[in-house]
Each structure stands twice: as structure tokens, then as C-alpha cells.
Amino acid sequence: MSAHILRRLPRSQIRVPTRVPRRWSGSISQRPGSDSVRFPGAVNSKFTTNMTFINPTEGPNIPTYRVMDSDGVLVDKNRRPLDMSNDEILTWYKNMLTVSVMDVIMFEAQRQGRLSFYMVSAGEEGISIGSAAALTPDDVVFAQYREAGVFQQRGFTLKDFMSQLFANCNDNGRGRNMPVHYGSNYPRMHTISSPLATQIPQASGAAYALKLEALQNPNTPKRIVACYFGEGAASEGDFHAGLNIAATRSCPVVFICRNNGYAISTPTLEQYRGDGIASRGVGYGIDTIRVDGNDIFAVYEAMREARRIALSDGGKPVLIEAMSYRVSHHSTSDDSFAYRARVEVEDWKRRDNPIIRLRKWLENEGLWNEDLERDTRDKLRKEVLKEFGDAEREKRPPLREAFEGVYEELTEEAQEQMKELKRILETYPEEYDLRQFKDGINGL
Amino acid sequence: MSSLRLPRLIRPARRFYSGAATPSSRLNIPIDYKTTPLLHHTSSSLSESLDLPGSTTSKPLNLYQAINSALRTALAKSDKVMLFGEDVAFGGVFRCSMDLQTEFGSERVFNTPLTEQGIVGFAIGAAAEGMKPVAEIQFADYVFPAFDQIVNEAAKFRYREGATGVHAGGMVVRMPCGAVGHGALYHSQSPEALFAHVPGVQVVVPRSPSQAKGLLLASIFEHNNPVIFMEPKVLYRAAVEHVPNEYYTIPLSKAEVLKPGSDVTLVSYGQPLYLCSAAIAAAEKALGVSVELIDLRTIYPWDRQTVLDSVKKTGRAIVVHESMINYGVGAEVAATIQDQAFLRLEAPVKRVAGWSTHTGLQYEKFILPDVARIYDAIKQSIEY
């Protein structure tokens, strides 16, 4: 222990505390003739005289869990029946349609310049809605930005979406964040921030807080944290930090990686060389599964089981890698045909898609048909357009929101700067248009 | 990314470090913490200064013991307080968390893996769910891997959450800072100015044991803002004074006038205050001037009024800090004085700070402010 400190400290700073025992009670020493390693860093390893480097390409890749095939037919005829009601499944389907309809309209609205920015989640609706369906309202979510379905499934309304996208005076974010950076207090979905992967160690800390709260107050319901990110974000240092710390502190958190094949223009071949993201979970000592992200049943079942595992043994992290394909552009600022073939995208759209797959299952069960599909899409389109119009007409938040919320209370410096801004606005009224802002100059 | 492991050093002869005085030194002589007027050597001077109830008992503690006492008080006061970082479980490499795991359990006092970005990210998440995490970064020099989490996440959390009302204000990030005589490039830094450029965090630097306990408890309990709490590590063992045994707080964003004066205002924080005090004693004796000494205590958001009131009275100001002069705290203080007390100034505002270089091992005493440079600044300001 003392040697470890010395590595960090100039010698004169150190006085080794006398109360530290020379050897911890759990420490183990090498027995003579032992056939296995007793180094503290790896206590269950056998010795070998066969010098073999582990080659990651030789072993079998981690399989992908699926429940239904691309025709919407349950693959394993012997499996137990799905244990969710048809009503529930219809709700999932409508939620996927809602996100999909909203995506098309908002993408177009951005193209017309009525919105500054947008990101669709086409092709990934099954991951977000299927996983969110396995959460309780008390669970906490940290998302990246392509998880509109999580918000939809957990009760975010079209008005909530539109208020945020137009950053108007009803926006939870008070007009401060770029579009698609949604947030909600309850069910708690932390407001999305643009820096990638920063939410991963935060999710571990949040999960630890929930665990501690449950320990201190056994009457509180057991809760987990669900943390979403893409396969590109998993290259950030915060991914490493977050998973490692979650494992060592036994945090009840489920990490859901949306592996959609691209990080903007970068294909996964330039993102990593291992067996995707799932293979790394094993390295951190985390229970891990890879699922077919286009199969909402597989995602739901994996997430429900992950939630159970996360709450077992006093808490532990789980990693789910959900495979999909980003059929859309990365964002409205991106033209993805600059780096991938249009035919590849069209192929994915046609061949496999979480919405079409569930629709086929519903039709096979006699729960859905062409008329219902058309009527539902028309109805959703009208609802989205209505909320769109209402949100667009709303005023922006009052100008004081630019300064408030930096600290719990306005600092004396901020008050002075607000006064100075007001003086400028009053002196040069022709230079600024305040009509769009609630209460105009008095909003400051 | 974190600490480059320092190799085991053969203990050099003592004269090679801590800026030993030359035999002829009159100004740059080692600070005698046992007699400095800045520390409460008796319990009576303590209770006068902190305005404590008469029943308060105190005992002499050094800075690491005072931090330990503050952490113990905090952990006992609320089960939402948790303490973690690298090597905190056995007591910490500077002994600030001694015995706390034994007293409060390994669920609330624990080691993390060696990852600064992970430690701060973990703290943000825990704070966002209502805990009061006190995270330790082993040296301020190693906070930079966590810079993104502090600047983009902790500082902006409340602002971007807006009407959801969620914030990460319960968190405090503690880190030992400042020079120790032989810390060289990565055991000497004082990055407070970098954090002072970040709206959303409060930056605090205590100068003494009693101040450290009061400011740390205020940071944990009296503010729902993320606090960067920087502890001058050279004072961990050196500075000893009376510290109240019980819970008490010292307000953040409030400067303290340590010594009244009428001719020059000296503004500083942390360890250099002791150098200022020694320089003032020499200058008042040799030059017949009267110097007012102000401890900023909170670097941001800072107490501009106390400083401006003082400078409007004296007409002269000098800012002293260890970190580099370029874009340092002194630049902000000097610019504010120039902006708001221009007509009262009788001399340019001077900055006595580290030169704009790195803290090369052998050059520390030439790079950082010392008593001679502060004395000289007082002289120059008076004679301007």
C-alpha cells in the first residue's frame, strides 16, 4: 500500500500511516507448487507452459438474441408465449409510428428553415421503445440524443416535444438547448447534453445514489438507471470510466449501446476492431448481451431481464448492445450519401426495420391491417401538425432566462450584466427584435 | 492520463528544496506558522473572529486534520454525504480521510478506480439524484482529465435542465493545490483561474484550518452549486490553529479583511497570504505605510464590493497569487478595480504572481511570488 502512494508523491510528503496493516486480511500468498496464479491482480488464473496469445478473431463472436424474424414470426416455436398484453404491444407500435411520423415532419420543417436542427431516430425506434417499456416510471434515464422513443414511451407528449424543438416558453429547457435535447423531471430523463459519453459515468453515480437510498430507506421502490449511447460514443474515455466504476462499485445500471453502424461518417471498422461493444463488457466483469435491435420483443425481454439482474446481489451493472442500422442521415446538418451508397440505405429500409417487423407480427395475429395503418398515420400526422403550429406560434421564454439557472441564485455580477443589457436594448431599440420574447424588454 | 508515477527518489539533502533562505535574507525567510498573526493561536481570538456561540469548544488542528474534522462532521450530519476518490479509503495520501471509512462504512467512504473523469462524472450523477458527493482529485494537477465533466457537465447542469428543477449542486470536488517546494510540474499547480472562467461552479481556496472547515461545510450544505474546493497542500501539516469542534460555516463569495490599513490594499488567497503578511510587516516598519490585507476566500463568484470599498479608501491595489500572471485571478481583480474605482486610483494596480512558465523543479523559488517581490510591489506602488 505504501509503495503505491510513493509513486504519486514526492517522498518528503509521505508518512506511512502506522495503523495500516502490512497485509490485508483477505490477501493471499503463493503456495509452493501451486498450479494457479496468486498474484493479487488475477487470483483465478491457472499457470500454463503453453505460450499462446489470445487472438480475438479466432473465438466465436457474441451471438445476437432475437425473438422474431424479419417476417414477424416467432423463431423458437418451443419458447414460452410473450407475456405482454396485446394492448401493450399495440401501444408500442403506435409509439413507434408517432416518433416516425414526427421525424419525417420535423426533418422537413428543418429543411424549410422553420427549425434550426433535428435528428431522426429512423431504424432505432425498436431499441428505444422496447427498452423503455421494461422500465418503471421511477427508473432514471440518461440518453444520448437518438432516443426520442424513450421519451415517447415514458409519457413525453407531442406538446413537450414541440415546445423543446421550438425552444418556446413551454420548453422544459427554457429555450437554452439545441433541438432534440429533451428532458423531464418525472419519469426522470435527464436533459440531453451534446458532449458524447459524459452521461455514462454520471449514470453510474446516479445508480449508486439510488442503491444507497434503497439501503438507507428500505421502503423506497427499487430503481435502476438506464443509460443510452451509440457505438461511436463508446470510444470516449468516459465509456471506459463509467463501465469500470459501475462494476467496481456494483451499481444498478443498464448500459444500452445503440450500435447502428455509423458515427456520423465513420463506419464501425474505423471505430473499433474488437467484437463490437459487447465484447468489452466481459472485460469489465459486466453481464452482457447482444440483441437484434430491430426486434422489439428481443429488446424488451433483454431489458426486462437486465433490470432484474441490475437489482440482484445488491446491485450490478449490465451491458446491452442493440444492433441496428442508421437508415437516416446523422442529422439535418449531414448528407450521408457523401460517405455511403444510397442503395445500401434503401436496402436496409426495405429489408429490415423495427416498425415493419412488428407490423407483420400484429397482422399475423389479426390485430392490425391496412385500414388501421392508414387511419392511425393520418391521425398522428394531424396531431403532430397541430402541436407543431401551436408551438411555433408560442413566444420564446423571457430574456431573463439567459441569466437565470447558472447558479441557484443570480449573482450580483449577473444582476449588473442584466441591467447593462437592458440599458443597451433601451438605447438601441431598432437593433433588437424583442417581440418574439415573452414580456419583451420587461422579461429581463 | 493521470499521475505520471513518480519514481522513488533518493531523499535529497534538505537544503535543496523549500526555498531555503540565504544567510543574509531579511525578507525571504521561512514563514513561521507558529507566530504568524493570520492563525488563531488561541481559542479566544478564534471565537471573536468567527462570531461563534460562547459554548463552542475548539482544539488546535493542522489543515489536513481540519479537513478531516469537516468531513467527519458532514458525514455525521447527513447520510446523503458520501466521500470518494483515489486512495481515500485508507485515509488518503494526505490523511484527510483518516478513519472515516471505519466510522461511516464502505458504502459512503470508498476508493474509486484511477480515473478522474470517472470520479467527477460519478459525482455529478450522484448529486443529480439528491446526494451530496464529496469527490477527491488526488492533486489539482490531475483534474484536467475531468475538465470536460466540470466545464460542460457540472457547471451547465442546472442551466440546461431548466424547468425540470434537477441540478448537480450537491457536489464538491476537493483537490490539493499549490507549490510545496519540490513538486515540479505536476505536484504544484493552482488551476483556480481556469475554473473561474466557468459560470456555474464556485471556486473556493481556504488559507487556514479553521477557515477550511467552515468553508468546506458551507460548500457541502449551504449552497446548491457545484464547488471546486482547492486545498493548499503546503499548509496540510504546517498551519496549526484552533478549530471549533462542532458544525459551523463560513459564507462563500464573501471576502475577509484580515488587517485594516489606509495606504495600499493587498488582495490574495490561500498560502500567499502568509507571504503578504510578512511583506506587510516589513513594509510598514521600513516604509512607514499602512497596508490593508484582504483574503478573497472565494475566487468565483467573488466579493467585488469588499475589494472595491477597500481600494476606494486606499487608492492603491496589489493582487498576489501563485498561479501564472497571464489571464490569472489578478487580471480579473485588476480589471474590475480599474473599471469601478478608476478615479480613486493613485497608482496602477500591480500583480505579483507566478511567471508565465512551468514550475521547473529547481526554479520554484524564482518563479513563485515571495516576500521580497511583494515588499517591492508595495514600495513601487507607494512611490509611484
Could you report the per-residue pLDDT of B353-365, keeping only the tens digit for each? 999 999 999 999 9
Surface of A (9-48) touching B: CB under 8 A: 9-14, 17, 20
Judged by DSSP in three states, B306 sits in: helix
Q: Is residue A424 domain-shared with residue A288, that is, in the same domain?
A: no
Question: Considering the domain boundaries, does residue A43 fall inside one?
Answer: no
Residues of chain B with CATH 3.40.50.920: 256-383
Q: Choose from A1, A7, A11, A13 for mutation: most chain B CBs within 10 A.
A: A13
Residues A324 and A435 both lie in one domain: no
| Phi, psi dihedral angles at A373 (to 5 degrees) | -60, -50
Residues spanned by the domain of A107:
68-393
Whether A283 and A353 share a structural domain:
yes
ipTM confidence: 0.94
Q: Let me know if B116 is a catalytic residue.
A: yes
The predicted structure's pLDDT at residue B5: 46
**Among B residues 188-217, those touching chain A with beta carbons less than 8 Å apart:** 199-200, 202
Any domain includes A63: no
Instruction: Tell me which of A330, A387, A394, A401 is the catalytic residue.
Output: A330
Residue B223: all three cell numbers together: 449552497
Question: Domain check: are A288 and A407 in the same one?
Answer: no
Asked whether residue A382 is domain-assigned, the answer is yes
What DSSP state is assigned to residue B206? -
Contact of A244 with chain B, judged by CB distance below 8 Å, is answered with yes
Q: Give me the residues of A, 346-405, that contact B with CB < 8 A.
A: 401, 405
Same domain, A106 and A129: yes
Q: What is the pTM of this model?
A: 0.94
Residues 75-104 of B with CB under 8 A from A: 79, 82, 87, 90-91, 93-95, 98
Could you tell me the CATH number of the domain that includes residue A327? 3.40.50.970
**Under a CB-based contact definition with an 8 Å cutoff, are residues B131 and A209 in contact?**
yes
Examine the domain organization and report whether A302 and A437 are in the same domain: no
CATH homologous superfamily of domain B43-244?
Thiamin diphosphate (ThDP)-binding fold, Pyr/PP domains (3.40.50.970)
Question: What pLDDT sits at residue B9?
Answer: 45
Chain B contact for A183 (CB, 8 A cutoff):
yes
Across A6-133, the runs of DSSP E, i.e. the strands, are 64-65
Regarding whether A333 and A430 lie in a shared domain, the answer is no
Which positions in chain B touch A12 (Cβ < 8 Å)? Answer: 11, 17, 182
Q: What angle do CA A106, A109, A114 make, to 5 degrees?
A: 125
B48 is catalytic: no
Q: What is the mean pLDDT of each run of 10 residues along chain B (384 residues)?
A: 46 48 89 96 87 86 98 98 98 98 98 98 98 98 98 98 98 98 96 98 98 98 97 97 96 97 98 98 98 98 98 98 98 98 98 98 97 98 97
Q: Touching check for A217 and chain B: CB below 8 Å?
A: no
Q: What local confidence, expressed as pLDDT, does residue A408 receive?
A: 97
Query: Between B125, B158, B233, which is nearest A209 by CB?
Result: B125
Region(s) of chain B under CATH 3.40.50.970:
43-244
Give the relative orientation of helices B43-50 and B209-221 as an angle to the nearest 10 degrees. 40
The verdict on A154 touching B (C-beta cutoff 8 Å) is no
Residue A89 makes CB contacts below 8 A (sequence gap 6+) with: A82, A358, A362, A367
- Do A215 and A191 fall within a single domain? yes
Below-70 pLDDT ranges, chain A = 1-30
User: Does A147 lie in the same domain as A218?
Assistant: yes
Q: What is the CATH number of domain B256-383?
A: 3.40.50.920
How high is the pLDDT of residue A22? 47
Chain B hits for A248, Cβ within 8 Å? 112-113
pLDDT value, residue A32: 77
Do A380 and A431 sit in the same domain of this protein?
A: no
Number of domains in chain A: 2
Return the residue of B nearest to A211 by Cα.
B107
